[in-house]
Structure formats: C-alpha cells, structure tokens
C-alpha cells in the first residue's frame, strides 16, 4: 500500500481537534489522551508535534485569537480602531466561549497574540499613553470584552422582578422594555455596545494639570 502523501498528524490538526473538544466539553476537553482518541492515534504520537499540554493550550489560543483583527489599531484613528478591534475580539471568543476558563489559567507568549498586543501598545502610545499605562489599559478592555462573552453564555436575562412591581416599579418598568427586543439577545449585545462606547469615550489620557 502506498504511503499517504500528507502526514496524518500536524500541529494545526491537533490544535483544531483540541478546540473542537473544548467547544463541546469545556476545559476537560484539553487532554492529550482525549485529543489522541479523537484523532484515532496513540497519545505518544502527539508529542512528535506538540511538546506538552501547555503548548497545546497555546495553539488553541492562537486559533481563537486569529479572528481578532488588530490591524484596525494600526490603520484607523484611536477611537474607531478600538471599536472595531473590540468587536472582532468579542466575536472571536463568542464562537468559542468555553475556551475562556482554560485560556485564563495560564499566561501566554503566543507570537500571534504578542503581535496583536504590540499593535495595541503602539496605538495607545500614539495618543499619549505611557508604557506604564499600557497593561492596565489593555486589561480594562479585555476584562470588559471577555466579561461580555461570558454574559452571553448564561440566561439571556439574569434578573426577573415579576411579582415585585410595586416594590421596584422603576426597575420593573425597565425590565418590561425587554419585550420589544430580540428574545435571544435582549441585553448582552446592547450592553456591550453601550459599555464599549463609555470605555472608548475615556480612552485618551487626561492632560496633566
């Protein structure tokens, strides 16, 4: 029988198999043995391509993060670049929300991610932020974006004042307005856009007095 022209395994194929398992099973899917079972190979075969589990997690991170478009930060004005970058960031993780707990469990040095962060740092410094401000500023945006993704993984509405209208009339009136919005997403996306606009409104450094 002739040998196959393409190898059965590749680092990309292993990462995609791991991502599929994580999408289905959460962090428990990130297991060398389970990925090997999915690919129908012996676990030791994976180590010819991926040195360890931490490296596999980084490969999964790179797959998810590849959809984040940081070119907006280089090519657009600061506020518009932030808006479009943040939307692409949220969209990337909205496709794979179960990766978030796993990816938050270890630090990253993935070249793709570092390149995106470099774009953020350059754009932030261009409008006057100092090097000392870059990580807090980036973390503020990332915390908000990731939090928005996690908000979409729970119930579409986290609260219900029904039966308490006399005690909380203004909140009950606000809750009643949800009936005029998309029942599948009555709050999360609108909250994201509102919160993002508030963050961006304050995203330039204040001039020193």
Classify residue 183 by its DSSP letter: T
Give the lowest-confidence range in 2-11, 20-29, 93-102, 198-207: 2-11
Residues 196, 144 contacting (CB under 8 angstroms)? yes
What's the pLDDT band for 73 if we cut at 50, 70, 90?
very high
* Tokens describing residue 36: 């090997």
Residues 87 and 41: their CA atoms lie apart, in Å, by 38
What is the structure's pLDDT at 7?
52
pLDDT-based confidence at 29, cuts 50/70/90?
confident
Note the pLDDT tens digit of each residue in 42-63: 999 999 999 999 999 999 999 9
pLDDT, mean over the chain: 92
Q: How many residues does the chain have?
A: 209
| pTM attached to this predicted model | 0.88
Does residue 1 surpass a pLDDT of 90?
no
The pair of structure tokens assigned to 190 is: 């609108």
**CA 109 to chain centroid:** 16
Residue 119 phi/psi, 5° resolution?
-60, -40
């Amino acid at each position: 029988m002739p040998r196959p022209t393409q190898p059965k395994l590749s680092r990309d194929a292993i990462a995609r198999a791991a991502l599929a398992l994580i999408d289905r099973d959460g962090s428990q899917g990130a297991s060398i043995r389970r990925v090997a079972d999915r690919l129908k190979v012996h676990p030791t075969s994976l180590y010819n391509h991926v040195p360890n589990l931490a490296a596999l997690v980084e490969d999964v991170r790179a797959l998810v993060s590849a959809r984040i478009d940081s070119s907006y930060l280089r090519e657009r004005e600061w506020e518009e670049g932030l808006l479009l970058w943040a939307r692409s960031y949220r969209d990337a993780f909205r496709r794979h929300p179960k990766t978030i707990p796993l990816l938050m469990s270890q630090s990253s040095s993935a070249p793709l991610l570092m390149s995106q962060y470099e774009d953020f740092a350059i754009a932030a410094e261009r409008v006057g932020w100092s090097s000392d401000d870059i990580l807090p500023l980036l973390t503020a945006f990332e915390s908000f974006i990731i939090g928005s993704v996690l908000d979409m993984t729970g119930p579409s509405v986290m609260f219900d004042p029904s039966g308490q209208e006399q005690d909380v009339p203004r909140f009950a009136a606000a809750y009643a307005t949800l009936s005029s919005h998309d029942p599948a997403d009555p709050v999360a996306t609108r909250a994201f856009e509102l919160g993002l606009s508030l963050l961006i409104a304050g995203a330039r450094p204040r001039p020193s007095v």
